[in-house]
Amino acid sequence: MTAPRSRRGVRARLSDLCGRLVSHLSGTHAGPIRPLVDVAPEGRPLETPDVVFRVRGLCKVYATEAGEVHALRDVDLDIVRGETLVLLGPSGSGKSTFLNILGGLDRATSGSVRFGDLELTRVSVDQVTAYRRASVGFIFQFFNLVPSLTARENVALITEIAPGAMSPEAALALVGLSDRLDHFPAQLSGGQQQRVAVARAIAKRPILLLCDEPTGSLDSESGVQVLEAIQAVAGDVGATTMIVSHNAGIARMADRVIRFRDGAVVEVGVNDRKIAPREMTW
């Protein structure tokens, strides 16, 4: 595990990555893309200080009765440890497909996703399951809690199978729900249910926290509370966070904003000043 980098260092690195991605998109490489320095021996954890995921030429084609759907077209992106990315773009532009492939829920048609020495596009089903279980937390629009289990039990579903997870009580304390441990989902507001889902996602201390429209079914105050919880706990566990949203306001809490259109990344922006969820115009 490397020491946290200074804000200025991280920002300089992000600007550099952004510049190289933009030059790649415009077809004018300023220079060779630096290789990962992390070809870790079998079984060793990732040692790259900066880049956690290196995505190159990622394509996803769905074969449907109506013909082929190109959900992702040749996406390149380096994702830095601990950064928050917000993915924007019209419905159907490929954001969820990108998230799902990085999270090991879906397989690419071609291209590469490197996570340390793991090539996610080529690993076996067992390896991808182990990766997902140990390293990825998911938060979806519709909280996906089990209605017949309490908040504590919903979180325990994950903590019991994830290696090195914190206790359900500790995870629920991080999202401000210590006084709701034994409540069932039906006894909680939508925002509280989503915070249980946040606790469930981060209890395993994931390297990657994937949030697909996490505030999509919440009112603005609950949405702010959920985003605050995501931001705080992701910071606590040092997770790299990717948030898909239709709400362009959310983009201002990101380190970088990735815009998708028609399956391609068309713009990568760096926020010079991130704002807190409470400062956002909803």
Burial class (CB in 10 A: 0-12, 13-18, 19+), 11: middle
Nearest to ligand ADP of 62, 142 (CB atom): 62
Residue 158 and residue 200: Cα distance in Å, rounded? 7
Residue 129 and residue 145: Cα distance in Å, rounded? 21
Q: How many residues does the chain have?
A: 282
Looking at residues 243 to 272 of the shown chain, list those that interact with ligand ADP (rule: CB under 6 A): 260
Nearest to ligand ADP of 128, 196 (CB atom): 128
Asked if 54 and 24 count as a contact pair (C-beta separation under 8 A), the reply is no
Which three-class secondary structure state does DSSP give residue 242? Answer: strand
Query: End-to-end distance of the chain based on CA atoms, in angstroms?
Result: 36
Name the percent of the chain in helix, strand, coil, to the closest 5.
35, 25, 40
> Residue 246 CA to chain centroid, in angstroms?
15
Exactly one of 9, 37, 39, 62 binds ligand ADP (CB under 6 A); which one? 62
Residue 92 binds to ligand ADP (criterion: CB under 6 A): yes
Token digits for 131? 């990766």
258: nearest Cα among 240, 236, 276: 240
Shortest distance in whole angstroms from residue 54 CB to ligand ADP? 21
Residue 26 binds to ligand ADP (criterion: CB under 6 A): no
Exactly one of 89, 185, 214, 277 binds ligand ADP (CB under 6 A); which one? 89
Residue 96 binds to ligand ADP (criterion: CB under 6 A): yes
Shortest distance in whole angstroms from residue 260 CB to ligand ADP? 6
Residue 59 binds to ligand ADP (criterion: CB under 6 A): no
Nearest to ligand ADP of 6, 64 (CB atom): 64
What residues does 71 pair with on adjacent strands?
Answer: none
Exactly one of 84, 93, 194, 225 binds ligand ADP (CB under 6 A); which one? 93
CB neighbour list of residue 145: distance below 8 Å, 6 or more residues apart: 154, 185, 193, 196, 197, 200
Exactly one of 26, 28, 91, 124 binds ligand ADP (CB under 6 A); which one? 91
Shortest distance in whole angstroms from residue 46 CB to ligand ADP? 26
Exactly one of 64, 125, 163, 164 binds ligand ADP (CB under 6 A); which one? 64
Residue 271 and residue 101: Cα distance in Å, rounded? 25
Exactly one of 14, 18, 55, 71 binds ligand ADP (CB under 6 A); which one? 71
Nearest to ligand ADP of 90, 235 (CB atom): 90
- From the list 63-71, 119-127, 154-162, 166-174, the region that binds ligand ADP by CB under 6 A is 63-71
Shortest distance in whole angstroms from residue 158 CB to ligand ADP? 24
Residue found under tokens 């579903």: 157
Nearest to ligand ADP of 62, 282 (CB atom): 62
Exactly one of 94, 116, 137, 206 binds ligand ADP (CB under 6 A); which one? 94
Which three-class secondary structure state does DSSP give residue 112? Answer: strand
| Other beta carbons within 10 Å of 32 | 7
Residue 97 binds to ligand ADP (criterion: CB under 6 A): yes
The residues of the shown chain that bind ligand ADP, judged by CB under 6 A, are 62, 64, 69, 71, 89, 91-97, 260
